């Protein structure tokens, strides 16, 4: 009887030990999950009052420049700060840099649209006054050589530009009208190299009768499309 009780107690101790080990592993896993830095957000909120008081807009209006903080109330002479020229604003920026103050600023400009409605336009730089046009002047297009046509081929974004599938296909239309007045590759493809052309779109078109005569002579026989009647039962 004593031996059986000892065996029962030993088995229960072994099972309790296994449960204890499993519980320890579960607690260790839970501790690792809670304290794992992998799930921590890398960015932290900056709750300092310095950023809250940072001006965030520089507005150009009527020849002046207004440094405005949208997080604070409007106070004449304080918010916004008025600068008569960019030189004054540059001196203010130099003072901020000397005090280790860095404030991201959005550049805006009061302007009018074609209907004479006032609007605010976002500018990439306070020194850019081209109305959104690029500040880099590009060289004029050179359209009188073969290299131009090779470097400026019209691409069709709706197609896969894979030569295995699109060889010999017509190119897409000029949706954005970037080639008006230019001899693009499509024009080069269709314009006839002969003295007289049957294509009405060519500048050297031979006229209506010339084209009709070419059609009557079956010059476009390979392009004919005919519809065959379906067999009826």
Domain housing 160:
146-220
Comparing 142 with 57, which gets the higher pLDDT?
57
Query: What's the rounded Cα separation, in Å, for the pair 190 and 202?
Result: 8
Do 96 and 157 lie in one domain? The reply is no
Residue 40 lies in a domain: no
pLDDT for residue 22 is more than 60: yes
Residue 113 sits in the same domain as residue 60: yes
pLDDT tier for residue 206 given thresholds of 50, 70 and 90: confident
Q: For residues 150 and 185, state if they share a domain.
A: yes
Clarify whether residues 106 and 166 are in a common domain. Answer: no
What per-residue confidence (pLDDT) applies to 49? 46
Q: Which residue has the higher pLDDT, 4 or 53?
A: 53
- Residue 109, pLDDT score: 83
Q: Between 146 and 232, whose confidence is greater?
A: 146
> Is residue 164 assigned to a domain?
yes
Write the pLDDT tens digit of every residue in 70-103. Answer: 888 888 888 888 998 888 888 998 898 888 888 8
In which residue are the tokens 């190119």 written? 171
Compute the average pLDDT of residues 146-154: 59
Residues 118 and 151 in one domain: no
pLDDT at 119 over 50: yes
What is the number of domains present in the chain? 2
Judgement on whether residues 160 and 196 belong to the same structural domain of the protein: yes
Residue 214 lies in a domain: yes
Tell me whether residue 192 is in a domain. Answer: yes
Domain end marker among 89, 123, 157: 123
pLDDT at 54: 85
């Amino acid at each position: 009887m004593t031996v059986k009780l000892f065996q029962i107690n030993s088995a229960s101790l072994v099972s309790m030990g296994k449960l204890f080990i499993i519980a320890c592993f579960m607690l260790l896993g839970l501790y690792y999950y809670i304290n794992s830095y992998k799930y921590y957000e890398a960015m932290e909120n900056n709750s300092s009052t310095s950023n809250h008081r940072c001006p965030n807009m520089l507005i150009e209006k009527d020849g002046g420049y207004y440094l405005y903080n949208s997080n604070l109330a409007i106070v004449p002479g304080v918010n916004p700060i008025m600068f008569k020229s960019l030189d004054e604003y540059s001196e203010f920026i130099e003072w901020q840099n000397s005090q280790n103050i860095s404030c991201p600023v959005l550049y805006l400009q009061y302007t009018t649209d074609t209907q004479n409605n006032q609007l605010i336009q976002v500018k990439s730089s306070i020194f850019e006054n081209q109305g959104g046009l690029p500040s880099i002047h590009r060289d004029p297009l050179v359209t009188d050589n073969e290299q131009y046509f090779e470097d400026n081929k019209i691409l069709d974004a709706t197609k896969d530009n894979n030569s295995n599938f699109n060889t010999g296909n017509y190119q897409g239309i000029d949706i954005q009208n970037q080639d008006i007045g230019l001899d693009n590759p499509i024009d080069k493809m269709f314009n006839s190299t002969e003295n007289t052309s049957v294509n009405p779109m060519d500048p050297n078109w031979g006229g209506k009768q010339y084209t009709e005569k070419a059609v009557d002579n079956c010059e476009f026989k390979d392009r004919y499309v005919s519809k065959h009647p379906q067999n009826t039962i």
